[in-house]
């Protein structure tokens, strides 16, 4: 089903992202493993079934890194068929102790990156008229909240709303 199709997984260097990479590769996808740590992305890419996998170092919260990923994808000659937005961070503190920087860092990585990456691959898919699946990883914390995680809960709830709205918009395209 995914034979030789290009899949991008952010946060693919470890944890859930790494496991997603393994499943996609086992289904025949060619992966771009995107991670903040190049060494982690390389380790994941080297351990995947199949070949043609690439490691890509990026900070998903930085627009320039997203542009660099876009350029890298275009150099491969194939539009992405799958984007999995899995990169995420926590910077826990109670509401009264949370700094503006803790709040903003989590918003940028966990939510703004999903907007930037989804917009980038959706534009490419529409231009090339290629099928595309976007998977955004959230958390139960986005529905029920968690002590000391107002920033994280806000982002994961935002991911749910973003995904529902983007799906309605993109389904017609």
Which of the following is catalytic: 152, 153, 156, 158?
152
3 state SS of 5: coil
Q: Quick check: is 152 catalytic? A: yes
How far is Cα 34 from Cα 28, in angstroms, rounded to an integer?
Answer: 18
Q: State the number of CA atoms in the 13 A half-sphere of 119 facing the CB.
A: 10
Alpha-carbon torsion, ordered 148, 65, 56, 73, to 10 deg: 130
Sign of the CA dihedral 135, 139, 144, 149? negative
In the sheet with 133-136, reading across from the earlier edge strand, the strands are 54-57, 30-35, 6-10, 80-85, 133-136
Name 40's Cβ contacts closer than 8 Å, sequence gap at least 6.
13, 14
Q: Give yes or no for a contact between 115 and 61, defined as CB atoms under 8 angstroms apart.
A: no
Active site residues per annotation: 152
């Amino acid at each position: 089903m995914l034979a030789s199709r290009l899949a991008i997984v952010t946060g693919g260097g470890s944890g859930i992202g790494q496991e997603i990479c393994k499943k996609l590769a086992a289904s025949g996808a060619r992966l771009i493993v995107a991670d903040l740590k190049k060494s982690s992305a390389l380790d994941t890419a080297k351990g995947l079934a199949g070949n043609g996998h690439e490691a890509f170092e990026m900070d998903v919260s930085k627009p320039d890194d997203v542009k660099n990923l876009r350029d890298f994808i275009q150099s491969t000659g194939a539009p992405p068929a799958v984007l999995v937005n899995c990169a995420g961070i926590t910077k826990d503190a109670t509401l009264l102790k949370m700094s503006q920087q803790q709040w903003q860092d989590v918003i940028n990585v966990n939510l703004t990156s999903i907007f930037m990456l989804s917009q980038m691959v959706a534009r490419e898919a529409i231009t090339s008229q290629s099928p595309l699946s976007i998977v955004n990883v959230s958390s139960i914390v986005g529905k029920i909240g968690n002590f000391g995680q107002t920033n994280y809960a806000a982002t994961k709830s935002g991911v749910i709303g973003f995904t529902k709205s983007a799906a309605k918009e993109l389904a017609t395209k």
